[in-house]
Amino acid sequence: MNNSINNLDEKIKKLEREKKVYELSLSKLNRKKRTRRLIQVGALSEKYFDLYTNDLNEIEDIFSQFSLYVKSNKLNKHKNGETDF
């Protein structure tokens, strides 16, 4: 009886370790995806708004200037992925 309990305890510990490893790898993958998306958005912003020579504060001013307009005039097909940050 004790032996089977010990075996079950070992299996539980092993599964918990595997779960933790999986969660960490999933978290790492999600961070990589987010980083890639942020880089792509930054590159597109730089390209379409001609921001090559502006510093970060100037870019933030430009974005804040147009933020409300863009948010309120998004096409319906682009509104499904909205999230609150």
Least confident of 25-29, 60-64, 77-81: 77-81
Q: In the numeric block, which tokens belong to residue 5?
A: 């309990």
Q: Mind listing the pLDDT tens digit for each residue in 32-58?
A: 999 999 999 999 999 999 999 999 999
Please name the residues in contact with 46: beta carbons below 8 A apart, sequence gap of 6 or more: 52
Its pTM stands at 0.66
Residue environment code for 56-83, b if the CB has 16+ CB neighbours within 10 A, otherwise e: eeeeeeeeeeeeeeeeeeeeeeeeeeee
Confidence class for position 84, pLDDT limits 50, 70, 90:
very low
